[in-house]
Amino acid sequence: MTDNDQRHATERKYPELYEKLVPVALGVILVAIVVVLIIAAAIALGLFSGK
Amino acid sequence: MNILSTLLPFASCCVSFVFAFLVFRRYLARRGPHLLLWGIGMTMYGIGGFCEAYYGAFGWNPLVFRLWYLFGAMLVAAWLGQGTVYLLAKRKWADILMIVLGLASVYGAFRVFGAQLDPAMMGSSLHTGSELSGRAITSGGVRSLTPFFNLYGTITLVGGAAYSVWIFWRKRILLHRVIGNILIAVGALLPAFGGAFSRFGISGALYITELLGAILIFAGFIRATTPMGATSATAPGAATPTGAPKQ
């Protein structure tokens, strides 16, 4: 991100609801990705019977 | 016939085909390989749903099982994810990955349609409606291909959507694309969890999550391509339909 983008980002705001919800949703998605990858690894290792 | 295991996948099939039609129509109007790949991916999603509905109503037969395994279990996530790769990666790398995915998909199709199936699991009376698996494939080295496709699909489709959310959110631009990509990411993750729940014996989880996944990906696409007007600032450089601008 350029300095210009950084400055504009601090000036711009989403509506308050989204300012709170978006980082929470992003965090949940990242955790979910990790969980899915762990499950995939477990299937690959034969811990579950996979598709 | 198990109503739950027939109607839910049939609904997924209908949602997916409607979505695929809209994406193909958009592709004809605007071009862009990501739209073509998403259209193909959602068509695969629809084929998978149709095969599951057939399974719920009549049980497997070899052709329907092979179609389900190839499109619904093996290829769908990877092809949807490849569309996101075309949005986010440099064209040269996207083309290289497309060639690899294309060759791998042809190999996968060759293996799935050439695989030996357990005839005992192909009977019309053998369907529980609660579990879908590739156990009917008795040939070695076929089912082990699937995690690689799904890993690639998860990383590119969900990871790509999450990356786009992060880029837009950091700059506080294009809120509609932030919301759309969150819906797409959640929608893409749901069937993966549904598959895991199904393995743990939670009956019907896969059908419900597949339907919700199709609806959320569809809603996310619509949201991401429909500006919210006054609620989001616009950025002159952000011209890609649903992904973050290429860095």
CATH number of the domain within which B10 lies: 1.20.1070
For chain B, give the percent of residues with pLDDT over 90: 54
Tens digits of residue pLDDT in A6-46: 555 557 788 888 888 999 999 999 999 998 888 877 877 77
B29 to chain A, minimum CA–CA distance in Å? Answer: 31
Please list, residue by residue across A16-36, b when 16 or more beta carbons sit within 10 angstroms of its beta carbon and e when fewer do. eebeeebeebbeebeebbeeb
> How many structural domains does chain B have?
1
In a domain, A7, yes or no: no
- Round to whole Å and give the CA distance between A47 and A23: 33
Domain hosting residue B221, numbered range:
3-119+137-231
In a domain, B241, yes or no: no
Domain hosting residue A42, numbered range:
15-51
In a domain, B63, yes or no: yes
CA A25 remoteness from chain centre: 7
Contact B79, B157 (CB under 8 A): no
**Token couple for A12:** 């711009």
pLDDT of residue A47: 72
Nearest to A26 among B73, B74, B165 (CB): B165
**Token couple for B166:** 């992060």
Judging contacts by C-beta atoms under 8 Å, the chain A residues touching residue B132 are: 51
pLDDT, averaged across chain B: 85
> How many structural domains does chain A have?
1
Supply the Cα-derived Rg of chain B in whole angstroms: 18
Cα angle B144, B138, B80 (rounded to 5 degrees) comes to 40
Contact B52, B5 (CB under 8 A): yes
pLDDT of residue A48: 66
In a domain, A4, yes or no: no
Stronger pLDDT, B247 or B151, i.e. the higher one? B151
A12 touches chain B (CB under 8 A): yes
A31 touches chain B (CB under 8 A): no
In a domain, A30, yes or no: yes
In a domain, B247, yes or no: no
Tell me the backbone φ, ψ of residue B117, rounded to 5 degrees: -115, 145
For chain B, give the percent of residues with pLDDT over 70: 87
